[in-house]
Amino acid sequence: MNGVNRSLPIRVDVRSKVFPAVGDRPPQLVLKDVAFEVAPRSFLVITGPSGCGKSTLLNIIAGLDTDFSGSVDLGPAKDKLTFIFQSPRLLPWRTVYENIALVLPEGDPRHAQIPDMIERVGLRDAMNAYPERLSLGMQRRASLARGFIVEPQILLMDEPFVSLDDPTAISLRALLTELWHRHPTTVIFVTHDRAEAIQLGTRILRLAPGKASVAQDVTINLTEAQRHDQAAILAEQNRIFAA
């Protein structure tokens, strides 16, 4: 892959997404004219009220949902996409370790990094446990480790840090930031947590409720140092969400 290719943005242009009628529920127009580009190696945060269509949008970007009008162009990195789902989606009949190992091809050198990754998400003692015997937060962390181990170039994350205690969430955010700096990754990150959005992202896209379209699209102006400064985060948060 050459430098020119790598600098191509991700282009998302969803004209409309309608869920067909089920039973006596009428058809639902969920997304309407949601169009944006994501620059390579940037960190786009998407926020919006519950039920406005964020997960639907990620499903479309990931290529899991092709039943919409419009287009998605992921560019040259499209085969290196990983999606950390809103629910952990681990295989209940495989242990934490096996769940992670399964996403790597056999004989892949990254297998050697699995124990370390499990350690990083704080699951060392649960390495050989079956997912249903873990708490939801632990399952989430296993699903994060599974997503991180593949070193994707496009990383979609759907509210990955909910139901985690503060220290764990903080250390996982640090892990995400570290991976994002280490590997050339474009991140699209959905969250309800405004401070988290400001701290992690380079840009925020706010979706409007109802027929979700883009309500606001702003760049976050924070230096790396300011991202560890509560006051700076708060100030930026007020600037963006006051609008």
Alpha helices (H) along the chain: 3-6, 54-62, 96-101, 114-120, 136-149, 166-182, 194-200, 230-242
- Partner touching 29 among Mg ion, ligand ATP, other proteins, none, CB below 5 to 8 Å by kind: none
Query: Percentage helix, strand, coil, to 5, in the chain?
Result: 40, 25, 35
117 versus 198: smaller Cβ distance to other proteins: 117
Using alpha carbons, select from 145, 153, 146 the residue that is nearest to residue 103. Answer: 146
- Can you tell me the distance from the alpha carbon of 127 to that of 80, in angstroms, rounded to the nearest whole number? 26
The residue within the footprint of other proteins, chosen from 21, 102, 174, 234 (CB under 8 A), is 102
- Which option in Mg ion, ligand ATP, other proteins, none does residue 202 bind, with CB closer than 5 to 8 A by kind? none
One-letter amino acid of 229: D
Taking the least distance from each CB to other proteins, the nearer of 126 and 240 is: 126
Is residue 135 within the footprint of other proteins (CB under 8 A)? no
> Closest CB to other proteins among 83 and 189?
83
The number of angstroms, rounded, from the C-alpha of 194 to the middle of its chain's C-alpha atoms is 15
Size of residue set near other proteins by CB under 8 A: 24
Minimal distance in Å, beta carbon 82 to ligand ATP?
Answer: 18
* Choices 88-96, 114-122, 163-171, 213-221 (CB under 8 A): range interacting with other proteins: 88-96
Q: Which is nearer to ligand ATP, 25 or 182 (CB)?
A: 25
**Nearest-10 crossing angle of helices 166-182, 136-149:** 10
